Copies of this chain bind each other. A is one copy, B any other.
Amino acid sequence: MKATIIGLGLIGGSLALDLKKRGFASRITGVEINRENGETALRRELVDELVSPEEGVKKGDLIIVAVPADAAINLLPAILSDSEGKTVVDMCSVKERIAIRLKDHINRREYVASHPMAGTEFSGPEAAFSGLFDGKTTIICDKNLSGKESLDVVKRMYSVLKMKIIYMDSSDHDIHAAFVSHISHISSFVLALTVLEKEKDEKRIFEMASGGFESTVRLAKSSAEMWVPVFDQNRENIRVVLRTYINKLNEFERLITEGQSDGLLSAIREANKIREILKDKLNITRL
């Protein structure tokens, strides 16, 4: 199978590595509008060649779109128009707007909507590595709208990437993603902003930063270019989660202000339940 990967960042680059190495793709054609990233991808031998988007779509049996959500929503209709008899799959972390855009596309059945839940706080082809997807979960959305052949190709790809596939409609996907992924990024970005602002008059503030702080602000290193379009396309769901989060922070503040130790103890013990959930989740991931 010949694969074309459009967008050679962390995701596209890591896909390229493992799809080639594990024999899924005999040839990988890359498309990358950022010249420096393209050169890095060639130097690291992530792809066999770099071509224009049009050429890329022609050359691949499978077209993998691994660009930020704003570029993806604009590119996908045109790519799909040129993809008769091929399979097109995207990797975006937000799905419903794209689903609506492609709903009535003549080649809709050649498109598979997917979202691999894998990544790091780094981006670009330099950050790509083999094994990024191993053991993680990927979501395939609205599978009934994809043709059997295309769905089979994508399922096979994710099986080669050692991912566990779950199925969901794109609207549910976006609600869930807002809760378990998008809000984590916002809480982390804003935490970083809060402490960075304080640093302006308290230079020593980071001397005390330890593992706990590092863990909660890790996601604040994430790429603006990737995340702004996600926040834009998942605006409604994110607002709901963010309102809930802010309300609960206000409530937590009230408990602290009023010295309500019992209320704080129960709230924290309730939050502690995340332990068991993460433990179960970890077990699932390790299977």
Contact = CB atoms under 8 A, between A and B. Distances in A.
B272 A224 contact: yes
Interface in A175-202: 175-177, 179-181, 183-199, 202
Contacts of A176: 202, 204-205, 207-208
Contacts of A195: 179-180, 183, 274
Contacts of A287: none
Given A205-B180, A212-B184, A224 B191 contact: no
A227 B255 CA distance: 13
Given A210-B137, A214-B278, A246-B246, A224 B265 contact: yes
A277 interface: yes
Contacts of A117: 208-210
Contact of A220 (B175, B188, B192, B274): B274
Interface of A: 117-121, 136-137, 139, 166, 168, 172-173, 175-177, 179-181, 183-199, 202, 204-225, 227-228, 231-232, 235, 238-239, 241-246, 248-250, 252-253, 256-257, 259, 261, 264-265, 267-275, 277-278, 280-281
Instruction: Give me the 8 closest cross-chain CB pairs, A-B, nearest first.
Output: A224-B268, A117-B210, A192-B271, A184-B216, A192-B274, A189-B271, A220-B271, A221-B275
15 contacts: A117-B208, A117-B210, A166-B207, A168-B204, A172-B204, A179-B202, A183-B191, A186-B249, A194-B245, A209-B277, A215-B216, A216-B219, A224-B269, A235-B257, A242-B252
